Structures are given as structure tokens and as C-alpha cells.
Amino acid sequence: MAKKSVSGTNEKVSNYIHDDIVFSILSKLPLKSLKRFGCVRKSWSLLFENPLFMNMFRNNFLSKDTSYCHNASFLLQRRIPNLFANDLHSLSGERFENRVELNLPDPFQDDDLCRLYLFDILNVSSTNDFICVYCHLRDKRFALNVIPQRPLRRNHFGKRFALWNPTTDEFKVIPQSPTQFKPFATNVSHDVINFNAGSFVYGFGYDRVIHDYKVLHQVQFSAPLLFPESGYVPLENISLEPVWEIYSLRSNSWRKLDIVMPTTGGFANEARVSIDGVCHWWSWDDTGSFLVSFDLSNEVFCTTPIPADIGNNFDKGCLWRHLVVLNGSIALVTYQTQMTLFNISILGELSVKESWIKLFIVGPLPCIEFPFGVVKGKIFFVREDKEIAWFDLSTQMIEELGVKAESGINCQIVIYWKNFLPIDGINK
């Protein structure tokens, strides 16, 4: 035993660790940690330029625990604007082979200004038990031409919201925001004309601090067109400044936020995503594009600049830009129509521009007409022959869903967790 001990102490101990072992260890780290380790050694700061290491990092990133996706359910929405209709299917199975058509009842049937002939689903995160749907206010009597064309005394450019539990088919209609019905002008008969108020939705998520579901939106105003002979006089102290509001399921009410944040302009759901109680959206100004992140718990926001080679691809024919959650990370997916290429970049740390990394370049895929979502490491798109298919980032293969998207159809795929509890159950 003594001889073994002596011989053991006489052996030389090497301080060198082979690159293969270093690569294997570092490739398993989260992006945030890996970026910070770049200051340890110069060679580590250049890892993202090493093709061998990047292949290992991509494989490990895609193979991370995706149990949230395996336990989640998926909805495929096909919105048909020309027919004022929606087509909704529940998807399950490893290759989404199980499809069930859903009949979505109209939760706003008692509202003369609203009906669910066309609805949108907020781009929710992978951790919500419920889904937030909304539709645009539109007077059904105008649509039927049963009342004369005159200025509405109520706003008809806003939205109505409802929470929907697809597992139980329960709906909870969210009360209208009082801000959307501010008076603008009155006449000698004291008839009132309201602002034309538009509601722009920025997020829906779960506040884990107080166990509450919340909706974030901005109300923007424009003054109704008044003619001199109408007799209407604008009210004093009228402000057209937009207002940020947040809805709480616990209180079942809207509340104004004393905050000014950048907006997404005219971009729709694909420019927004929510995860872990934080709402994110893409925005831009004269300096470039950036990510805006609003925390539903402390109600503060931060911005993260997006490098020009990731977020500004207009000169390369970038038609489609989508924020998604990819294996628990915020990802920005852009599609360059001229080159038929997908670029997928993930964010390592909020407020840190350098933590973005372009992780995948997919293509060219010339058969794509337009993409519409990313789930389970698969990019969903409509092919030129109108078939809905996906590209699997792991297998590098294209598979068909077996569902067609006819002309004029807008598609969306969302994720939710099954929950048999009532929506109001969180208050208990």
C-alpha cells in the first residue's frame, strides 16, 4: 500500500484539458453562462466562430429537456378573412397525427358591437393553462344594414377579450376597458360622440408572484370626423395621448399604467411572445431594432438592442419576422424571401446586445409560400401547393401535416397546458 502511495505521488499531474473535453462541457452550458465564460480565455471568446463547437452546441440546445412541449397541447388556427370564418384544430402526437376539430362558441353573443366571426389568439408562452382570444368590435346591425349609417355613439375600433380553457371549453369574458369609451364632442342636445379608440394587444401571461393572469394592451385614440353643420363641439381638455392598461383576472378589472414604452407599430401577433411572466415584443427606432420586455409582476420594462445582422434584413428581402420560445429561450426567426433562408437567433440575457447569437441558418427551402410558427423545434409553413408542413431542426427533414391552407387563409399555431380547473379557480 505504501509503494502505491509513493508511486502515486510521483506521477505527473497535467494541467492541460483536451479541447474535445472542453468543447463537450462548454457546449452544454446555457447561452448566458457561455457568453460570460468568454472572458476566461481568448480561445473561449472565439467558440462561436468554431464550426465543430457550434454543431455540438446546436445539438445540445435541441436535445435539452423539452418536457413542456411533450406535456403540452397544440392548437392550429386557420383564419379565413374572406369568409369571415375560423377553422380550429387540436393537435397531439409526436407528428401531430391526432387532430380534432373544435367548435368555438361565441362568448360575445349578447354584445351588439361584437361577434366572434373572426378572432385572434394571443401568442402565448408554453406555461399558460388558458388562452386569451380577442375579436374586433363591429356593430352587427351595420353588418346587416338594418340601421342607418350614422356616427356610432360607442367606439367600434376596439377589441373584446375573453379567456378560454380549451380543456373544459370554459369561457370568461373580460370586461371592456372604460378608457376605450372616452367622450370627444357634444352638441346642443347633449348627444355625445366618443373617441375612435384602437386596442393594440402586447401580451398575456401569468404573474407568479401574486398568482394572477394578466393582459397588457395599449389604447390609441383618434378624433372622429366632424362636419361644421353637425353641431358637435369638441370637449375641453381632450387628450389623444395613448394609454397603457393592464387587466387582472383576480380583480377582474383594467388598470392604467403610468408608463411610456416603445410599440410594435403595425406588426401583429408574430412580433410578440410571452414567457415566464414577461411580455416581449419587437420594436425599432432611428438607431435600429430592439426587443422590449415588460415584467407583469413589477410592471417595469427593459430593452435589448438587436444586432443589425439579426434584426434588420430588409435589404435581403426579409418578409417575415417572428418572436418565438425555442426550448425555453427567446428566439427571433426571420425569413429571407429572396434567398428562401430562415435565420434563427436566440437571446442569452435581457438588456445585453452581445448575448444574441445566430444559431441556425436553414435553407434554401424554395417550396415555402409563407411560414407561420415554431413549436417543438419545428418551423411550420405553408408550401406553394398550399400544404401545411414543417421543417424539423433536429432531423433536417420536411414533413407534411396533412392539412391544406386554401387561398386567403392565415395560420397560427399556439401551445397550452391542459387544466381541468375553472378559470376563476386561481382566486381560490
List, as one string, the DSSP characters of 9-48.
Answer: HHSPPP----HHHHHHHHTTS-HHHHHHHTTT-HHHHTGG
pTM above 0.85, yes or no: no
- Residue 214 φ/ψ, nearest 5 degrees: -135, 150
Model pLDDT, residue 403: 84
Instruction: Report residue 88: phi and psi, to 5°.
Output: -130, 130
223 neighbors 196 (Cβ within 8 angstroms): yes
State the burial class of residue 62 (Cβ atoms within 10 Å of its Cβ: 0-12, 13-18, 19+): middle
Query: Is 325 domain-assigned?
Result: no
Closest CA to 270 of 411, 396, 140: 411
pLDDT at 65: 57
- Tell how strand 98-102 and strand 120-121 pair up: unpaired
For 120-129, 149-158, 279-288, 365-374, which range has the lowest pLDDT when averaged over its residues? Answer: 149-158
Please, what's the b/e burial string for 17-50 (b: 16 or more CB within 10 A of its CB; e: otherwise)?
A: eeeeeebeebbeeebeebbeebeeeeeeeebbee
1-5, 107-111, 155-159, 390-394 — which is least confidently predicted? Answer: 1-5
Burial of 308 (C-beta count, 10 Å sphere; 0-12/13-18/19+): exposed
> What value, to the nearest 5°, has the Cα angle with vertex 308 and ends 307 and 310?
70
Reported as a pLDDT band with limits 50, 70 and 90, residue 158 is: low
Give the pLDDT score at 374. Answer: 86
Nearest to 163 by CA among 423, 427, 426, 368: 423
Range in 157-161, 251-255, 276-280, 327-331 with the lowest mean pLDDT: 157-161
Highest mean pLDDT pick, 37-51, 52-66, 240-254 = 240-254
| Cβ atoms within 10 Å of 401's Cβ, excluding its own | 20
More confident residue, 68 or 60: 60
Q: How many domains does the chain have?
A: 1
Q: Which domain holds residue 39?
A: 18-62
C-beta separation of 133 from 119 below 8 A? yes
The alpha carbon dihedral of 367, 369, 371, 376 has a sign of: negative
Q: Three-state DSSP class for 168?
A: coil
Does the pLDDT of residue 225 top 80, yes or no? Answer: no
Q: Is the pLDDT of residue 360 over 60?
A: yes
The answer to whether position 51 is within a domain reads yes
Is 46 part of a structural domain of the chain?
yes
Task: Please determine, for residue 312, whether its predicted confidence score (pLDDT) is greater than 80.
Answer: no
Q: Is the pLDDT of residue 279 over 90?
A: yes
Q: Determine, yes or no, domain membership for 50.
A: yes
What pLDDT score was predicted for residue 214? 93
Taking Cα atoms as reference points, which of 141, 182, 134 lies closest to residue 160?
134
| 104-156 pLDDT tens trace | 777 776 655 555 456 777 765 555 677 888 776 554 433 333 333 344 334 44
The reported pLDDT for the residue numbered 290 is 93
Distances (CA, A) of 23 to 17, 48, 355: 10, 11, 19
Interhelix angle 51-62/19-26, rounded to 10 degrees, is 40
Whether 44 maps to a domain, the answer reads: yes
Task: Report the range out of 41-50, 57-66, 282-291 with the highest average pLDDT.
Answer: 282-291
User: 328: closest CA among 11, 53, 65?
Assistant: 65
Secondary structure letter of residue 55 according to DSSP: H
Mean pLDDT of 223-235: 77
Q: How confident is the model at residue 359 (pLDDT cuts 50, 70, 90)?
A: very high
207 versus 35: the higher-pLDDT residue is 207
In a domain, 317, yes or no: no
Mean pLDDT of 38-44: 76
Q: What is the pLDDT of residue 152?
A: 39
8 vs 207, residue with greater confidence:
207
Q: What is the pLDDT of residue 304?
A: 96
Which residue do the cell numbers 393572469 mark? 213
- 25 occurs within a structural domain: yes
Mean pLDDT rounded to a whole number for the chain: 78
Q: Are 174 and 162 in contact (CB under 8 A)?
A: yes
Q: Cβ–Cβ contacts within 10 Å for residue 394, how many?
A: 12
- Does some domain include residue 39? yes
Q: Say how many C-beta atoms besides its own lie within 10 A of residue 316's C-beta.
A: 14
Higher-scoring residue by pLDDT: 66, 103: 103
Counting residues of the chain whose pLDDT is more than 70, the rounded percentage is 79
- Contact at 8 Å (CB) between 371 and 322? yes
Interval 268-283 mean pLDDT: 85
Lowest-confidence pick of 17-21, 102-106, 134-138, 269-273 = 134-138
